[in-house]
Structure 1
Amino acid sequence: MTANLKPSHSSTLSHKWHALEIIWEGGEDLVKQGLPHSQLSPAWQILLLGDGSPTRHLQLLTTEKTEVDLIDMSPIGRENDGAPPQIDIIPEPRLRRQVWLRTASGQRLAYAASWWDGNHVDEYLQNRSLPIWESLSRLHTELYRDIQGIYYGNSSVLEDAFQEKGPFWGRHYLFWHDRKPLTLIYEVFSPYLRKYLGETSLG
């Protein structure tokens, strides 16, 4: 596995969301193929590369309800916001949402930033404090989770927020609905999840 030290999007220094400072990244082909188990354990690969709901996965792992702390809902207009390049297919004007995913008892498990069509976000996030998966499940919205990239990198902000040392694993993906892009999501998971998934291998 070859390190790529040139991030495909800007770091958190330029934007108001928490992109990783990338040590290594893999694209869509690697996502489909998977990584050797010597580089990322099977359990972590199921979480990062699988197309199931992370909210549901976290709930099953911890046996606690996964709750959301909404920290940002910002209109960004036509800006690309330093997001992954797939933001170009999200209709304008765009809105950026940021959340912490945590257990009901308060343990932060993941960070997520997402970008939406600002004209239609209220149709899908009627209660903005719910996890996206729960909101869309209540609407019986049929979705396809299209994972586009995986990351390994650092973030001092996320170290403080998770109270865990990096580096961190993250990913980004598109949600498709009726053959149209619904939202672009960027997620980073806390190393706290080693408690359930075992050690990560890279680094």
Structure 2
Amino acid sequence: MAVYIYTFYKFHYMFILPQEKIKYLTKNSCKFIPIEWQLILANEGSFTQILNSLSGKKIHINMLQKNHYTSKNMNKHIRCIWLENSIYTKFIFARSIWIFTYLDTIDNIIQANKPIGNSLINSQVDTYKNIHEIYYGYSKDLEQKFQNHQPLWGRKYTLYYKNKSSVTIQEFFSPYIINFFYI
């Protein structure tokens, strides 16, 4: 099965770990997912801040796509970004789909060239993260961008604000990230 995650990135799933198994992952060790990846994938905090701490360098955002759709009932905002360091090493590709239930509140908080997690933390907005799935697979396009030809880990989750879903995020991680555990 393949899914298009951006206009030209095709991802082929080798397996998907559904939500009910993720809860098990956070309580017990999972033999087929290396412990470093378990720590990354089950993390419920701001991954950008963790990446800053692991790498010891400031992480930058490179915006690829930003669209805003408005219908009678709903405003949607789609954003595709790369998180990378100052020498353009790509660590994460992320796609977020925002449903602006609280358009005035959230839209003013999320800064265009800042990671979502950092913007929410700096603005002291209380959100809840619900991880829906963790996946493993491959994408020739993403592997080329990451400059690493290994299978990729990813996850999909929703952030809730005032008990309503506000954004769903898909993230695909560079295999290089686990090297930070060995420095």
Which residue of the partner structure matches residue 40 of structure 1?
Answer: 33
Which residue of the partner structure matches residue 109 of structure 2?
Answer: 124
- Please report the TM-score for the alignment, with normalisation by the length of structure 2: 0.86
CA deviation after TM superposition for structure 1 residue 50, in Å: 1.9
Which residue of the partner structure matches residue 107 of structure 1?
Answer: 89
Amino acid paired to 2:38: Q
CA deviation after TM superposition for structure 1 residue 19, in Å: 5.4
Which residue of the partner structure matches residue 137 of structure 2?
Answer: 153
Aligned to 1:161, the other structure's residue is in SS state helix
Please state which structure has a larger fraction of its residues in strand: 2
Equivalent of 1:63, from 39, 42, 56?
56
Which residue of the partner structure matches residue 178 of structure 1?
Answer: 162
CA deviation after TM superposition for structure 1 residue 118, in Å: 5.1
Q: Distance in 2 between matches of 1:141 and 1:113?
A: 21
- Contact 1:149–1:171 (CA under 8 A) maintained in structure 2: yes
Runs (4+) off by over 4 Å: none
- Contact 1:155–1:166 (CA under 8 A) maintained in structure 2: no
Q: Distance in 2 between matches of 1:23 and 1:197?
A: 25
- Contact 2:100–2:166 (CA under 8 A) maintained in structure 1: no
Amino acid paired to 1:107: T
After superposition, give the CA deviation of every residue in 1:106-147 in whole Å (9 maximum; x if it has no partner). Answer: 21101000001257262232x210111121122110111111
Q: Which runs of 5+ in 2 are unaligned?
A: none
Q: Which runs of 5+ in 1 are unaligned?
A: 1-6, 79-90, 199-203
- Please report the TM-score for the alignment, with normalisation by the length of structure 1: 0.78
- Contact 2:134–2:153 (CA under 8 A) maintained in structure 1: yes
- Identical residues among aligned pairs (%): 25
Which residue of the partner structure matches residue 86 of structure 1?
Answer: none
CA deviation after TM superposition for structure 1 residue 77, in Å: 5.3
| Cα root mean square deviation, aligned | 2.2
Amino acid paired to 1:11: V
